[in-house]
Amino acid sequence: MQLQVINSPFNQEQTELLNRLLPTLTETQSLWLSGYLAAVQSSSAQAAPAVEELHAVASGSAISKEVTILFGSQTGNAQSLAKKAGKTLEGHGFKVTVSSMSDFKPNNLKKVKNLLIVASTHGEGDPPDNALTFHEFIHGRRAPKLEDLRFSVLALGDSSYEFFCQTGKDFDKRLEELGGTRIAPRKDCDLDFDEPAAEWVEAVLAELSEGQSSVNSSGTAPAAQAPAAESVYSRSNPFRAEVLESINLNGRGSNKETRHLELSLEGSGLTYQPGDSLGVFPENDPELVDLLLKEMNWDPEEAVKVKDEVVTLKEALHSHFEITVLTKPLVEKAAKLSGNEDLQHLVSQSDQLKAYLDGRDLLDLIRDFKPWNGSAQDFVSILRRMPARLYSISSSLEANPEEVHLTIGAVRYDAHGRERKGVCSILCAERLQPGDSLPVFIQHNENFKLPENPETPIIMVGPGTGVAPFRSFMQEREETGAEGKSWMFFGDQHYVTDFLYQTEWQKWLKDGVLTKMDVAFSRDGEEKVYVQHRMQENSKELFQWLEEGAAVYICGDEKHMAHDVHSTLIDIIAKEGNMNRDQAAAYLAELQQNKRYQRDVY
């Protein structure tokens, strides 16, 4: 491409510069330059700076900035956002490196000039598994001074937890203490994170580009385009998957109800791998919605605004907003709509407020603190958007083309004088029928994946619904003919009623797809026996598998099971490896660093 001199507004020197530059541009660089020129005003007062900037583009200085994006992710949300931010920055000419914190060498931190951190908070304010080592390093004595570093943090969390976005806050504070300068302020995101995350990327982009080359004529950062091969369906545009089957896996007389759900992905273009999760956007229980409307004497048909959409109040409470969880931000906003002095006092007392939030919902709040002021619109405006529920996928796409299977435990319990129900689990257990549909999306999770080498032995620990991803693992290994040894530890309450997918496990054992299986049914004997007890009984063989290169996977409850299994693994390594506990913990940490110890816990 050559610039013609006829009627050209450029002088000869400018024309020669452009003719040398334009033929060398890639498609991405040409698009970037077009957007940049559209954003630069063409008045004579700005002509000189524009030419100056153009010379900078020609020399590469404006687009050669290197940016490192590190993510700490448990379920894949932070990783997905980090990759998306990387694509956006690359689309504006930046050289971007996106890496898990566990794959990043901390000693290289001193070399980084522009650092973006995307970190979720796990459990009670803890870093996710793949951020533990980096978090420890940066808060330790070996962390370097970082006076030349520019940084910004995107923190993910759940405001229903006390230590909301704590990991992101930790990184933000520590990088400042080490001498770093913020590119843009930290952004704390709740479960509905898409918009605030996009705002953060835009703010970072504007600062990195000094507010000039990053924006188009409308003043907003251009969106990164998804590769053509990707499905058009995502978290922000979920696919309505038809329910093919809904089966109760528990036998008659069980204390539990575990639903096996089979959904059709036909026509969606969605794909997944073993270890990924399915995101489901549920609906609230109609009975609870009706109780709220009656308690406030609201008209169900009253029109309210939800973002840019106008819907009935009943529809808003049914499908758009979370009404079963109380959070500190919600109660603080609600206090401004109440004339109740007790509520005003409660929000000022941190410990009392924390105790009140536990196990209560919006209906409790409304009943406990009358009178209420404000309109229905005022109320829905303070509610949190309905968050997606993530479930570990329990099927292999290779074995079940255009289908996805879930294993969901129905949640029912009593609290504060009322029966409580899990929003999504009870929707699936009580109201969802074959032929109905659910809005879903695939949540890829690179932190919970089968070994690349199919001959690598695997050890799986998944009691209860934690069995889900391991059913996926086994289906995949059966389809691909993987020859590595496999060992499953499964536990539940009763052998007769709660052995989930029993016939499938027995068939895999018989056919040699599964090498070994140990089960623990806690209510069948005088003493309760759990999966960690079966691991202890097999400690010598288990350690031998580890020494042979086995990868260990844990799925299920984090607070109790996963914590106990982790401690048991350290005990086994210490005993069988003739180590002290610190050495055993270091051994396990190294397994984790090498992706041979992976957890999908919740």
d(CA 473, CA 555): 12
Hey, is 104 helix, strand or coil?
A: coil
> What's the rounded mean pLDDT across residues 216-226?
41
Please state, in angstroms and rounded to a whole number, the distance separating the CA atoms of residues 465 and 376.
39
The per-residue pLDDT for 35 is: 53
> What confidence tens digit (pLDDT) does each residue in 162-183 have?
899 999 999 999 999 999 999 9
Cα of 18 vs its chain's centroid, Å: 45
Q: Which of 49-58, 279-288, 324-333 bottoms out in mean pLDDT, i.e. has the lowest?
A: 49-58
Amino acid identity at 104:
F
Mean pLDDT of 530-558: 97
Percent of the chain with pLDDT over 90: 78
pLDDT tens-place string over residues 505-527: 999 999 999 999 999 999 999 99
Q: Token pair of 149, please?
A: 């570093």
Residues 171 and 167: their CA atoms lie apart, in Å, by 6
pLDDT of residue 566: 97
The residue behind tokens 């689309």 is 91
* Side-by-side strand order, sheet with 239-248: 389-392, 277-280, 437-443, 239-248, 258-264, 403-409
Surface-to-core class of residue 151, CB atoms within 10 Å of its CB (0-12 exposed, 13-18 middle, 19+ buried): buried
Residue 64's pLDDT is 40
SS3 state of residue 151: strand
Indicate if the alpha-carbon torsion angle 230, 204, 117, 385 is positive or negative.
Answer: negative
3-state secondary structure at position 179: coil
**What is the β-pairing status of strands 258-264 and 239-248?**
antiparallel
- Residue 339 pLDDT: 86
Q: Which residue has the tokens 């003719």?
A: 19
Backbone phi, then psi, for 598, in 5-degree steps?
-125, 145
64 and 114 Cβ atoms separated by less than 8 Å: no
Rounded Cα gap, residues 600 and 469, in angstroms = 9
Count Cβ atoms within 10 A of the Cβ of residue 233 and give its class: 0-12 exposed, 13-18 middle, 19 or more buried: buried
What does the pLDDT read at residue 25?
64
Would the pTM count as exceeding 0.85? no
**Exposed/middle/buried for residue 185 (C-beta within 10 Å: 0-12, 13-18, 19+):** exposed
The secondary structure element, H or E, covering residue 438 is strand 437-443
Question: Mind giving me the DSSP string for 357-375?
Answer: HTT--HHHHHHHS--B-S-
Residue type, 306: V
- Both structure tokens of 366: 């409304």
> pLDDT (tens digit, 9 = 90+) per residue, 567-579?
999 999 999 999 9
Give per-residue pLDDT as tens, 482-509: 999 999 999 999 999 999 999 999 999 9
Is residue 19 pLDDT above 70, yes or no? no
- Specify the pLDDT at position 161: 87
Query: What is the set of domains in the chain, with CATH numbers?
Result: 12-59 (no CATH), 66-208 (3.40.50.360), 239-283+388-443 (2.40.30.10), 286-382 (1.20.990.10), 458-601 (3.40.50.80)
Burial call 316-346: b when 16+ CB within 10 Å, e when fewer: bbbbbbbbbbbbbebbebbbebbebeebeeb
pLDDT band at 602 (very low <50, low <70, confident <90, very high): confident
Which two structure tokens, joined as six digits, stand for 438? 């659910």
For 278, list phi and psi in degrees, rounded to 5: -110, 125
SS3 for 580-592 is CHHHHHHHHHHHH
CA–CA distances in Å: residue 111 to residues 106, 342, 385, 454: 10, 54, 40, 37
Residue 39 has pLDDT above 90, yes or no: no
Question: For residue 371, is the peptide bond before it cis, meaning its omega torsion is within 30 degrees of 0?
Answer: yes
Max Cα distance, the chain (Å) = 95
**Contact yes or no for 535/568 (Cβ under 8 A):** yes
pLDDT at 460 over 90: yes
CB 258 within 8 A of CB 465: yes
Give the per-residue pLDDT at 356: 97
Mean pLDDT, the chain, whole residue set? 89
The length of the chain is: 602
Burial class (CB in 10 A: 0-12, 13-18, 19+), 408: buried
